[in-house]
Amino acid sequence: MPSALFASDLHGRRRRYDALFAAIESERPEAVFLGGDLLPHGLASPGGDVPPHHDFVSDFLAPSFERIRREAGPSAPRVFLILGNDDARYEEAAVIEAAGRGIWEYVHGRRASWSGLDVFGYACVPPTPFRLKDWDRYDVSRFVDPGCFHPEEGWHTVPFDERDLRLGTIQEDLERLAGDGDLSRAMFLLHTPPYGTALDRAALDGKSVDHVPLDVHIGSIAVKRFIEARQPLLTLHGHVHESARITGSWRERIGSTHAFSAAHDGPELALVRFDPEDLESATRELL
């Protein structure tokens, strides 16, 4: 039976990566999925739990997965990844270069296949209160929650199409990415979780901006509507670290779609183990 590991929001932390690499080496999964926010935050200081690498992708991440591939040989897992809203997009070039060498498969805005499934990836999130906007995208309209900044208002680490940033939406991107085909044998690796679920519950209780109460759900309406309408087999999410702690659940069922989150607000790695042929038996462990 095919087996897979899913992790997200590692944020460049050595302890989390060491736990992930140990699990890969001991369990020998067929595939590993990484759901974004993989790199040290741009404002983080090296030292402690953050490896002191000037170029995290080229100096640490790619060599680590290359070593696993070399040591595992033919049984090495396929690795699928996207970036997340805390990952500066200028790092994308190094991620794509490593993908060209077969170290992993970069699936943002792309389709791949694994174990008879179509695998789609998408990194963008609805507008956030943070200034880094490389992966911020309007959701279903130009509405922005109180306290958040418009995508064109913040910082970008690479050149961008201003018109696309102003007019594009997650909703349109997902429709274009998925096409018109049947998605019952498809899985989506999405950094943002679906709106109004156990996976997008933020710690915003009682908070307001300019006397306007903040919505405690910060996921994507577009993703929620897409799942409801298209019913893929499985969606994998991260982004909202505290959600599982607040709601007590890291998984959601939306119609026939299983949705899992590997985001976690503690120091541990949250590792989801699943078999696409038996998703009810999926587990999540803190390592």
- Could you tell me which residues come within 8 angstroms of residue 121 by beta carbon, excluding any fewer than 6 positions away? 80, 81, 82, 106, 107, 108, 109, 110, 112, 188, 189, 190
Which is nearest to 60 in space by CA: 10, 110, 108, 106?
10
pLDDT for the residue numbered 46? 41
List per-residue pLDDT tens for the chain, 287 residues long.
Answer: 569 999 999 999 999 999 999 999 999 999 999 999 999 975 444 444 544 556 899 999 999 999 999 999 999 999 999 999 999 999 999 999 999 999 999 999 999 999 999 999 999 999 999 999 999 999 999 999 999 999 999 999 999 999 999 999 999 999 999 999 999 999 999 999 999 999 999 999 999 999 999 999 999 999 999 999 999 999 999 999 999 999 999 999 999 999 999 999 999 999 999 999 999 999 999 99
Global pTM?
Answer: 0.95
| Residue 279: both structure tokens together | 């998703």
What residue ranges define each of the domains in the chain, with the CATH number in brackets? 4-286 (3.60.21.10)
Which is nearest to 144 in space by CA: 172, 166, 174?
166
Q: Where are the alpha helices (DSSP H) in the chain?
A: 14-27, 56, 62-72, 92-100, 162-167, 170-178, 221-230, 243-247
**Is the separation of the CB atoms in 214 and 145 below 8 Å?**
yes
